[in-house]
Structure 1
């Protein structure tokens, strides 16, 4: 009887089972052109695009011919400049539709916790204002009496100041936030400013509120020290989506005895860096700074 032969392992299945190692270098090289186009302010000439991708014009042209066939790149017949094509747009829109900002933020919270060593939270805009939707307390820190679902005040919390500053500066959001700010301000005017543990840095007029929010926008970060609760400080950094809208706020807070509340301190720096990276991952491109 003939010896039964073992079926040959399917080549495609074998390739899929192998660890991702070598990859396809030409794909990685070609991607540099697409990445350069995505980073540019507009369409580019061949020489400029090749230089941005770190390759010769002749090499770049070969890739661009294939990319044009696939619709990833288009070339203007008059100016001869290259730009991203309809296939790149479809891929980008599909990716954006699947992004979950809160999920992205939660995936980074553990690393940020290890870096800051203080309680962290994620806040989004809810029906009644900025709302805590995720909370993780650092070990060996003084607990802060806040809960998931808490709606934060706009003027005395770092979270509220962040949302008021970056949502309330223009458009429909400003029309919604402005009356909330006025109502909260009227309540703050009735609070005693002196006592055993007085709250500080609490605005008392609309000009003070505007100055506070302008400073928040200028710094790209909101801060409170003794404003929400006596002895408590915190920061909130904005995370923007691809349309430039405020997607969520990243919050770090703790006792002022242990939390460095300096604008340039380690917690503020780490929080801001994480928020900016999250914004970039969500497709946000900040406007260039004014000269």
Structure 2
């Protein structure tokens, strides 16, 4: 009830689903298939890196974390868990999605979430977010250097649909010492590769049955340009 997933009718005493349950349903409906496609890839990334791998989907002006896969590194980043909602521009995955939008869309998002963003994440200023957007567009991934919580770093890359629109993000979260300069580049490039793989699967699954899978893969590969 505190989170708005159920509502109690004070007259009848009965419970019914609340607005948050509706919002989650809207977010999940188009995302179940994408998460299913992503699951083996996310697990593989966790095994490869030893770190925490997160998968988030775009919903309105937020990114909702749908899954969390743990690697075997003993010190884990506990900042994000499945079900968490993040403002676009806050966190590596949500910022990677934001960077894939147009400048006009980004300005609109930043205006809409400015009050909440500045009250909860004061270091995520407009200028700081725009800097991350510029860097993300340059290298293909977002390195979030502890702006949300000091010492908590993350790297994220966007996933696109068949219309070249961002729909999700894959990110890896770790402590600052775990994501040094050289390793963050390595992780970032690996996430970009994983994003292209998942984008290709997404495009192929959305294509008509008679379409050639190679065509879908070639379309997704266009994101490397």
TM-score (norm 1): 0.53
Alpha-carbon deviations, 1:22-45, whole Å to 9, x = none? xxxxxxxxxxxxxxxxxxxxxxxx
Q: Which of 114, 122, 143 pairs up with 1:182?
A: 114
Alpha-carbon deviations, 1:193-225, whole Å to 9, x = none? xxxxxxxxx354x44433331221222111112
Runs of 4+ in 1 over 6 A off after TM superposition: none
1:212/1:278 Cα in 2 relative to 1: closer, same or farther (>3 Å)?
same
**SS state at 1:212 partner:** helix
Q: Where does structure 1 lack aligned partners over 5 or more consecutive residues?
A: 1-96, 192-201
Q: Where does structure 2 lack aligned partners over 5 or more consecutive residues?
A: 1-29, 204-219
Alignment correspondent of 1:154: 88
Alignment correspondent of 1:280: 200
Separation in 2 of the partners of 1:181 and 1:211?
17
Alignment RMSD = 2.9
Separation in 2 of the partners of 1:231 and 1:264?
14
**Equivalent pair of 1:131/1:151 in contact (CA under 8 Å):** yes
**Equivalent pair of 2:154/2:174 in contact (CA under 8 Å):** yes
Which structure has the higher relative contact order (CA within 8 Å, separation 6+)? 2
1:153/1:141 Cα in 2 relative to 1: closer, same or farther (>3 Å)?
farther
Alignment correspondent of 1:28: none
1:188/1:148 Cα in 2 relative to 1: closer, same or farther (>3 Å)?
closer
Larger radius of gyration: 1
- How many residues end up aligned between the 2 structures? 178
TM-score (norm 2): 0.67
More strand by share: 2
Separation in 1 of the partners of 2:79 and 2:167?
25
Alignment correspondent of 1:237: 157
